[in-house]
Amino acid sequence: MIRHHHGDATFDVEYVNMFHGELDPKVTLPMALEAVRSFYAAQSDKWMQAADINAYAKRMRDRNRPSEAAICDAMQRAGITGVREEQAYRRAVNQMVAEGKNAQDALQAAFSMQPDKFITANRNGRIQPRQNVLTRQPTRLRDILGEEKPTD
């Protein structure tokens, strides 16, 4: 599309590889095509660079990001009150939006996180340690490091 806009200008393989290498891996083909269309609709005399596509894709993701009020409402409905739980939920929502999900899907999908993947606070405000997946018992530090054998 860029080549066509500039009168079917020729590109060598090295330029194409460099352009592709500079693109953000999160940029999808529809995002890139929309970025090219909007770039040349606004300014037809300049060459578009990979950084222009990356910037446009970032703006699209930022526009898609749910508002702070929407995130707070979703957490309140789900009963998420702990600081660590809130941080984990926000991180999951932002990750999903960065991967291209729309705001509503990201808000819903973030609830499917397994709570034992991160440390959470219980009702008393105490930190709950991670649990052993098989026994569902709290993982103790000595389980990870191993017990020291007394030396005789």
In the prediction, which pLDDT does 126 show?
A: 56
In the prediction, which pLDDT does 117 show?
A: 45
Cα–Cα dist 33/67, whole Å: 26
The single-letter DSSP state of residue 111 is G
In the prediction, which pLDDT does 42 show?
A: 87
The single-letter DSSP state of residue 140 is P
In the prediction, which pLDDT does 55 show?
A: 92
In the prediction, which pLDDT does 8 show?
A: 58
Identity (one letter) of the amino acid at 119?
Answer: I
Q: What is the pLDDT along the chain (152 residues), one digit of tens a residue?
A: 555 445 556 667 887 788 888 888 888 888 888 888 888 888 877 888 889 999 998 888 888 888 889 888 888 888 887 888 888 888 888 888 877 788 888 888 887 764 444 444 455 555 555 555 565 565 555 555 555 555 65
Q: What percentage of the chain's residues is helix, strand, coil (to nearest 5)?
A: 60, 5, 40
